[in-house]
Amino acid sequence: MTGIMKKYGIVILSSLLSAVLAVFLYRLFDAPREVVIREALPSQHTGWTDDPLLGAKQRTFLSSAPTNFTAAATAVTPGVVNIRAAQSSRFDFWGSEESYGSSSGSGVIISSDGLIVTNHHVIENANEIQVTLNDKREFKAEIVGIDPSTDLALLKIKGSKLPYLEFGNSDSLRVGEWVLAVGNPFELQSTVTAGIVSARGRSIDILETQDRIESFIQTDAAVNPGNSGGALVNTNGELVGINTAIITRSGRYEGYSFAVPGNLVRKVIKDLRDHGVVQRGILGVFIDDLTEERARQLGLPAIEGVYITRITPDGAADKAGLRENDVVLSINGIKTKTLPEMQEQLGSYRPGNTLAIEYMRDGKKHKASAVLQGKTGDVLAASSKDDGFLRELGFELRDLSREEQKRLNVKGVHVVSIFRGSKVERTNMDPGFVITRLNSEAVTSVENLTQKLKNAKGKVLLEGVYEDYAGEYYYAFSME
């Protein structure tokens, strides 16, 4: 019996030693693994500096395994605020009373001195804006600038050493990656929901301006009323988007939420901060999505790219050698598989920036270098102060070209776009209107009209024509 016990004891001891040795060797040679989501892509318009609006952090982003959201949630919630916008009752130019209203949403602090980004529709037509921080402190906010084309707005509160979010690189996001949606609705303090990136480059046709840019990040993170303007962050706590909209049939969240990409947000907000207006670079092309039939006709190996339907004479693309029926494959090394993706890339640059464009023509790949122009055809940024003044009134303007002056037989200023809720919009003026006179005085240029408007007091009357409609048209509003 003693021999048998001894024999089994040796077997058991040997088994235990083998197990311990196996665990030791496993830990020695097979260390815990980290899942690499994506290494950040280099981009000409991103490069980290001390200015939080000049660039995103370019680094490999490591997701934890298993994913843990607590560190990111703790880091970002203090920087997400509640915004209440009030519109007071008043009489318009024609004596009709405009009713009182209010709206509520979220915002994201992006600098320690109180810069806040939110959606334009959250503060649209606001006479007074109240911001409540996560720690319940309250501030009055001023509007620094708005950009209806991307549904973004920049606010400023008087504060110092405020908690703020740092920008990440939204170009590095991949479908299936975990993200957090952080909002501050109805003064409930910050709320956090989690989901994955469902798609990129989504256009859902919700913006109304002529030069709208819709290239949303789609997620299934729950976003409800009051969360508009809140933060979309990665699990490292970096800002990669501004939550903007949901698609729903019930009026409640149903699994489809959309955010403006962080790289586009950063460019727009920096322009608003520095100039009061977005300096948008123009390539000078009319574009459309590539269809299967077009891809087959052009001899393309895949249905990826953006089809050029028309080229603006003497525009940036024309000077770079691009032609109708070319298919744009990438801009500065970033693929442009769809029209929204190309719009997003172009929206990240300004007049004077040089783009390296890869495109297909006659079944072969080509490269071109294009210098973006402004709306008036130059490569320099527009006069920001005057543009800011004109935007407050509600329109964007440009001088008439010589060809237009000859064709219309008038001198004047062309109305490029009109902003919702503005004085100009309430006159029912349409884009394309050519302003020829202000209060019976001839208008010769944007600079000339701007100066006349700045000197005007009380009611002003704009006279002009539309190219496709006979007769003269008149629009009036008050400068007070």
The gap from C-alpha 182 to its chain's centroid, in whole angstroms, comes to: 17
Query: Residue 450 is encoded by which pair of tokens?
Result: 């701007």
φ, ψ of residue 278 in degrees (nearest 5): -85, 125
Distances, alpha carbon 186 to alpha carbons 63, 86, 134, 226, 430, in Å: 32, 14, 12, 6, 36
Check if 275 is active-site. no
Asked whether the beta carbons of 64 and 235 are under 8 A apart, the reply is yes
Largest CA distance in the chain: 122
Q: How much is the CA Rg of the chain, to the nearest whole Å?
A: 28
Q: Which of 43, 111, 121, 414 is catalytic?
A: 121
Q: How far is CA 80 from the centre of its chain?
A: 18
- Nearest Cα to 285, choosing from 240, 233, 327, 237? 327
Q: Which of 147, 151, 211, 271 is the catalytic position?
A: 151
DSSP strand pairing (334-335 vs 327-331): antiparallel
- Tokens found for residue 226: 């009051």
HSE-CB for 145 with a 13 A CA cutoff: 22
Q: Which two tokens stand for residue 341?
A: 């993706």
Distances (CA, A) of 73 to 6, 193, 213: 58, 9, 29
In order of 15, 396, 435, 449, the CA distances from 93 in angstroms are: 93, 21, 20, 21
Check if 228 is active-site.
Answer: yes
Catalytic-labelled residue, pool 228, 257, 330, 422: 228
Q: Is 151 a catalytic residue?
A: yes
Within 8 A by CB and 6+ apart from 332, the residues are 43, 44, 45, 345, 355, 356
Which of the residues are catalytic?
121, 151, 228
